[in-house]
Structure 1
């Protein structure tokens, strides 16, 4: 990312800046890289703007620089990214709806100055902010969409529109929140048009479906329609399914979404992913059990019998399944397990109806039989209940000097301190409340006695 920290204190004087702009504009510019000065910044952007082709673009860029200076937008003119936006605006200098020189600066924030200038230059009608954002990026097609909507063109008639939109979808597209990028907004609007909830439409919009391939759109439209009808779409599961569908469709163009269910697709996607993993590693590694006594504890929780247990994972696929369920990279530990460096246990909770919940992945170093690491989902720290189970397992197995026993003790100490602070804060609040009550009581009493 280019920075301009060493230009912040440069004073742009009228004569020097305007002369510099004029001099660079008239010179035969060679490709120049920005080196932290205003001169090299201008040389770079003028160097990207031909003197022979699209002359209006170069002239527009020069006018924007001069007018921004005259409007005292000094911070904007010192900032590389802001000048880059001016350069993007100049790419459409022959399609402006108002003269540059009629724009007036309001406020001192350089981003708002640029947004105001974009609206002034191109928008007669209200235009989505997410398309306004494209001038701060690089894709000229989406900037052109902003111009077209700003002049009153309909969404369905935008240039190079990659998907088919109904009237409802077009309406939703124009009203898409500015957190989306244009292609994400298209999928979001398309999903809403197919009847998806806002929540589901957001998941679809932010998914890999936003990587629109126009030549395959006929198929992917059916995928959007399929998930738009689902009430519970998980972002991570959706991306796994989309990878699977991409493979299946490109393998067989007759593949369709007919008679499919989300549950079946998740299962098929996981099996496909597992097969890809097997092909990548080339060999499934297996290893012997460490002989460490596992945990197997039956408890009664809220009237339900549950079992907490540790399961030793003894091959590459078992590690893959654990990592897939827990969203971390334990699958990479298969060589360490094969070589006897460490072994992996999965702490699990099995309910009365046999539903299994994976709680913590535990790595045990076999040299000293000590716990090296214990992580819950997404590499988060185990919760209090899980730490209690691990501590109980440690105390009843061959594991010694457990990392987790220390962590558990620290955790419980922290909880005790937090509770003590909470109690103290409650006591302070009660004391203050009593004082306020008696002050108000005596004030009211004094008023009544004075009557």
Structure 2
């Protein structure tokens, strides 16, 4: 009897309300309404996310717009979102049918007061919603028509917080501001680097575009593939100039495999930030006075030590059974004559075994896995390990390495692309040698 009188917890109350709303929503088919009516219905709703998701459908467009445009937003932001969505609902646009574009349209609404043209003057010229979004952003914020293509593309790719605030950068550039004067830049830019940054390919993220510009300013664009295949395409820190000098070190050495850059950068990072064996970290480590031969020898030796010491535990809190929360990327199986498997590695022992088998340093990525920054996958052909893949939290495949850090062959590349396509993973062009 006492349990009946016990008040419900907030979570239990929300679940109860969600069930009530769900039963009512089955009798309300808002998807058949015209867009203006859907928008008005959206802004008439009020409640917690579980209740709204139950009423509208977890993956529906209106549920996502409620989450990004209304839920826990200040009154001014809700007003601006309402103005934008009502304006778009009166036009022949596909934007409001795509739930994945809700964050981008919320960002458009956030900066709507800074527009250089009126929304009423915009008309979509394509049925493709992503091209419509690009057109809308340029219409509202690109006064001079010279915002770099990679900045606009970041809106459609869902990279609005890609090392810097893309929406704020768009408004800054749209008013005629210089890239190097943008206050949100993580590193200073010279005029030469700024020039090349504006010319970076459209599909690049900010970091990839920055690497493109830095190498172009150094006349080292031939090294773009190896650089984007290394940790330089994933991290940007205060010691960025040091890592560019590592690229200079390679570029000045004849007859060296460019794709040794990635393993060498991993070895240098280990030496500077973590330490090797019993040596403490050496933050001041540099390549000054070192030969390429000695650097490659020490890098290879470190890789061999990682492969030959599978039971060595680098810290007291780490055991061979240590696991972590995997990234929400499904495993893959396919093939007939030669079965193919792509499986996420979930324990420290899995990483050690993968690195020992393929003779590379994947075991050094256990911390990134535990922190949720990356996930490591193993591609096997007919039960034999072939390629190790690193997928970052933004669903981008940033590394693909086989035995002794070789690049994937054509057959392996086909399966990697198929897996990526099925799971909507981004595959940079340089990764598979395109």
Same fold (TM over 0.5): yes
1:268 aligns with 2:291: no
- Give unmatched runs, 5+ long, in structure 1: 1-7, 284-316, 328-343, 345-359, 362-375, 383-451
Tell whether the 8 Å contact from 1:97 to 1:124 is kept in structure 2 after alignment. yes
User: Equivalent residue for 1:13?
Assistant: 34
User: Equivalent residue for 2:193?
Assistant: 169
Q: Residues 120, 229 of structure 1: CA spacing in aligned structure 2 closer, same or farther, 3 A cutoff? A: farther
Render the CA deviation track for 1:355-414: whole Å, top value 9, x for unaligned.
xxxxx99xxxxxxxxxxxxxx9858889xxxxxxxxxxxxxxxxxxxxxxxxxxxxxxxx
Q: Residues 211, 380 of structure 1: CA spacing in aligned structure 2 closer, same or farther, 3 A cutoff? A: closer
Matches within 5 A, 1:48-447: 48=71, 50-52=73-75, 55=76, 57-73=77-93, 75-125=94-144, 126-136=146-156, 137=158, 138-139=160-161, 141-196=165-220, 198-229=221-252, 234=257, 236-250=259-273, 251-282=281-312, 323-324=358-359, 378=408
Task: Report the secondary structure of 1:186's partner residue.
Answer: helix
Task: Report the secondary structure of 1:215's partner residue.
Answer: coil
Q: Name the structure, 1 or 2, with higher relative contact order (CA <8 Å, separation 6+).
A: 2
Instruction: State the Cα RMSD in Å.
Output: 3.8
Distance 2:174 2:292 in 1: 40
Distance 2:110 2:252 in 1: 42
Q: Residues 15, 244 of structure 1: CA spacing in aligned structure 2 closer, same or farther, 3 A cutoff? A: closer
Tell whether the 8 Å contact from 1:184 to 1:206 is kept in structure 2 after alignment. no
Whose radius of gyration is greater, 1 or 2? 1
Deviation at 1:48, TM superposition (A): 3.6
Which protein is richer in helix relative to its size? Answer: 1
Distance 2:62 2:165 in 1: 30
Deviation at 1:172, TM superposition (A): 0.7
Deviation at 1:232, TM superposition (A): 6.5
Deviation at 1:206, TM superposition (A): 4.6
Distance 2:292 2:206 in 1: 27
TM-score normalised over the length of structure 1: 0.56
Tell whether the 8 Å contact from 1:241 to 1:269 is kept in structure 2 after alignment. yes
Tell whether the 8 Å contact from 2:95 to 2:101 is kept in structure 1 after alignment. yes
Render the CA deviation track for 1:207-265: whole Å, top value 9, x for unaligned.
31133343333422322433454567756422211111111222112211213344432
- Give unmatched runs, 5+ long, in structure 2: 1-28, 274-280, 314-351, 363-383, 385-401, 413-434
Distance 1:167 1:231 in 2: 30
Tell whether the 8 Å contact from 1:194 to 1:228 is kept in structure 2 after alignment. no
Deviation at 1:51, TM superposition (A): 3.0
Task: Report the secondary structure of 1:23's partner residue.
Answer: coil
User: Equivalent residue for 1:308?
Assistant: none
Task: Report the secondary structure of 2:186's partner residue.
Answer: coil
Tell whether the 8 Å contact from 1:195 to 1:229 is kept in structure 2 after alignment. no
TM-score normalised over the length of structure 2: 0.58
Distance 1:63 1:233 in 2: 58
Number of aligned residue pairs: 291
Distance 1:232 1:96 in 2: 53
Tell whether the 8 Å contact from 2:147 to 2:170 is kept in structure 1 after alignment. yes
Distance 1:90 1:232 in 2: 53
Q: Residues 255, 103 of structure 1: CA spacing in aligned structure 2 closer, same or farther, 3 A cutoff? A: same
Deviation at 1:104, TM superposition (A): 1.5
User: Equivalent residue for 1:424?
Assistant: none
Distance 2:198 2:149 in 1: 9
Q: Residues 63, 231 of structure 1: CA spacing in aligned structure 2 closer, same or farther, 3 A cutoff? A: farther
